[in-house]
Each structure stands twice: as structure tokens, then as C-alpha cells.
Amino acid sequence: MEFWLDLNDEQRELRDWVHGFAESVVRPAASEWDEREETPWPVLQEAAKIGLYGFEFLANTWADTSGLSLPVTNEELFWGDGGIGMAISGTSLAVAAIYGSGTPDQLFEWVPQCFGDASDPKVGAFCSTEPEAGSDVASMRTRAVYHEATDEWVISGQKAYATNGGIANVHVVTASVDPSLGSRGQAAFVVPPGTKGLDATKKLKKLGLRASHTADVFLDDVRVPGSCLLGGKEALDKRLARAREGQRRSGQAAMRTFELSRPAVGAQALGIARAAYEYALEYAKTRVQFGRPIIENQAIAFALADMRTEIDAARLLVWRAAWMGRNDKPFSAGEGSMSKLKAGEVAVSVTEKAVQILGGAGYLRDHPVERMYRDAKIYTIFEGTSEIQRLVIARAISGVQIR
């Protein structure tokens, strides 16, 4: 499929529909749930009622062969609010893990349980990061041991910063099954609802995205049936055997695993950045100082010009990477990481400029730009720090194992 920058009628309808929900439901609730620092269950229920929260909607966006429906959706949702946006979209992390590694039967069994239904919405959690293994994935300490007699896996370890950790109906947990193989000796497991041995801290207090639940998760001899190993044991045994024999997948194949999700995350940052830019632009048109609107001052006008330019540039990188991933184009220069790197850093820069344009007012909670500023910062940290994105890009363009 050719890359095309103009959205088709269906994509425009999707964009406008999500924007309407963000404007009428998300934005009016944003300040309240940021202050409460609680999961906005009523908003999730409203999203589920209209079909915006659920596997069917996610599947439809993924089915778009242009790859643009998901980033378009994320931009509009996070334009409404970053914290509530993450509360709605956080479940997709667990779903993506099940979709990426699971069998069709596992997909059919577990994904609906991640979402629940409109009358009783649920959330899912993907638990991968650890206190000593964030960017250093190969250092994962959580272990999974297979007990053949009972056909069970026993999982023990600790996960950090898990979105929806502890409150999720379904947890997807990564663990090492052969530590000697590093990251190639790891697998993903579904921990079903009510499984004993899984516990979590209270909701962590965060700088931003406060409406999204984040917690550390502890696994103490958590026993799950053999069927909960995503992909199945036969596939795992074959993969481990290849790794032990020294066979290596191509660097591009390994890179794509991480690259594919990054444009969607970049689109979230874009939404926050655009919201801050639009608010600052309107403020600059109406705020009068020295007898004229402040937008008539070059310093303000040029700052807004830079903000808009950077947002549009980041969107082009996000859309390109989303299209490439959906159409199996090789990320020969780390294009997925480029999109997330640019969008994350633009979000931080633009929201900071928005606060500056509003001056003292921007520092007050009476205006939303201070919340947007707080929400933006995480996008240079999670889903791969800016430094890791640069490392991926540098390795891709140089062919050198830069450390």
C-alpha cells in the first residue's frame, strides 16, 4: 500500500468521533481525576458504552492497512487528557502482548477478559519492567519454572511501574525461563483473574498521568496452568533450542518487536503537545499587555510558530513509522524510535513553552497547561528513554553495536 498523507473519509470520521468524545467527556473530567489520582472508571464505562473501549474497536484500528487509525485515535484521545487517555489505552499494552505472542485460542480466551463489558469494564496490565531491568531487558530477574507433573509454571519476582498493576483483571507477565540466554531466554505468561501469589503496592504517586493507575507488582510462587504460556510450550522449546545452538535472528527482526509500538506512543505525546499549543495560541490572542495582544510580539509569535512546526514534523515521523510497521517495511534507520523520540521531546518542549507563554497563569492549576507539562515528561522516559531511542537509531544507521 502506498504511503498517503491525506486521511480517507473513514479515518476522518474516526478522528472526529474520538475528538468529540475527548472534548465532551474527557476534558471536562480531566482536572477532577488528576486531583483525585484515581482510575476514572465512569469515563472508562462511557467509552465502553459507545464502543471506544474494547477489543472490537482496537481490532478495527489495527486492521487499517495504512496504519494510521491507531495514531490518529491516540492523538485525539490524549488531546483530551493524558491521564484519562492512558487509563483508557493502558489495557492495549496487555492486549498487544497477547496478540504478539499468543495463539488464536489464547487471544480469544484472554483479550475479552482484559476489557470486560460496558456494564462492568475491566482493565489489563502488562508487567515487564523491573527495578534492576528497565532499559536493560536482558537483566530480568523474574523467573518462571515449569513443573511437568502438574503442567504448571511457577513465577516469582517483582515488576515495577506496571500500568494497571494490581487492579487489572488480567496480568501479562514476562519472565526468564533460561537466564543463561539473556533476553532470548524469556517468555510471556497470562496470570488469570484471582490467581494467588500476585500482589501490588498502592497506586504510585506520579508527576503526571495521575488518572492512570501505576503500581509495582510482586509475584510470590504464582502458579499458572501450562496453557497460560503465550505461544505454547512447544513453540518456546523450539525457540530456546535455536538460541542454545547459537542461531541468531536478524537484528532487524529483533528491533521490530520494540519498534512497532513506538509510533502509537508517539501519537499520545503528540496529542498532549497539540492541546498545549492550541491553548497557548488562544491565550496569546486574548491576553493584552502594553496595550496589545501578546501574540503581536515576535517573541510570542515565533515561539508559537516553532511549536506548530515541531508538532507537524513529529506527526509526519509518527505516521511514516506507523505505515511502515503496518506494511512490513524494514526499519532500516530505526524509524519507529525516531517517531517516539521526536514526539516525546516535542511534547516536553511545547508544553514548557505553553507554560512560559501564559507566564504566572501557566503555573497555576486554573489553566490546563501545567497538567499537560507534567503529563508530557514521561514520554522521554517510558517505552524506552530518549537515550535508548537514540541508541537504537545509532545502531541501525551505523551497523555498530554501540554501548
pTM of the model: 0.94
| Other Cβ atoms closer than 10 A to 276 | 31
pLDDT in tens, 102-122: 999 999 999 999 999 999 999
Q: Which residues are catalytically annotated?
A: 383
Q: How much of the chain, in percent, has pLDDT values that exceed 70?
A: 96
pLDDT at 256: 46
Q: What is the rounded distance in angstroms from the CA atom of residue 34 to the CA atom of residue 371?
A: 8
pLDDT at 111: 96
pLDDT at 255: 43
Element (DSSP H or E) covering residue 148:
none
Kindly state the average pLDDT of the residues 8-27: 97
3-class state of residue 364 by DSSP: coil
Q: What is the rounded distance in angstroms from the CA atom of residue 100 to the CA atom of residue 75?
A: 23
Measuring CA to CA, how many Å separate 226 from each of 95, 157, 184? Answer: 19, 18, 20
**Dihedral sign computed on CA atoms, order 184, 165, 96, 318:** negative
Please count the residues of the chain: 403
pLDDT at 290: 94
Q: Mean pLDDT across the chain, nearest whole number? A: 94
Q: With 70 as the cut, is the pLDDT of residue 34 above it?
A: yes
Q: With 60 as the cut, is the pLDDT of residue 240 above it?
A: yes
The pLDDT confidence band at residue 11, using thresholds 50, 70 and 90, is: very high
Nearest to 102 by CA among 94, 113, 91, 92: 94
Q: Cβ distance 83 to 375 under 8 Å?
A: yes
Q: Cβ distance 29 to 84 under 8 Å?
A: yes
Measuring CA to CA, how many Å separate 26 from each of 20, 30, 90, 208? Answer: 9, 6, 15, 16
What cell does 136 get?
536493560
pLDDT at 254: 38
Q: What is the rounded distance in angstroms from the CA atom of residue 323 to the CA atom of residue 75?
A: 16
Q: What is the rounded distance in angstroms from the CA atom of residue 302 to the CA atom of residue 348?
A: 18
pLDDT at 249: 52
pLDDT at 252: 38
pLDDT in tens, 50-63: 999 999 998 899 88
3-class state of residue 341 by DSSP: helix
The pLDDT confidence band at residue 247, using thresholds 50, 70 and 90, is: low
| Other Cβ atoms closer than 10 A to 249 | 14
Q: What is the rounded distance in angstroms from the CA atom of residue 185 to the CA atom of residue 140?
A: 10
pLDDT at 17: 98
pLDDT at 253: 36
Q: Cβ distance 215 to 231 under 8 Å?
A: no
pLDDT in tens, 148-206: 999 999 999 999 999 999 999 999 999 999 999 988 899 999 999 999 999 999 999 99
The pLDDT confidence band at residue 248, using thresholds 50, 70 and 90, is: low
DSSP for residue 151: T
Q: What is the rounded distance in angstroms from the CA atom of residue 11 to the CA atom of residue 71?
A: 11
Strand intervals (E) in 47-123: 116-117, 120-121
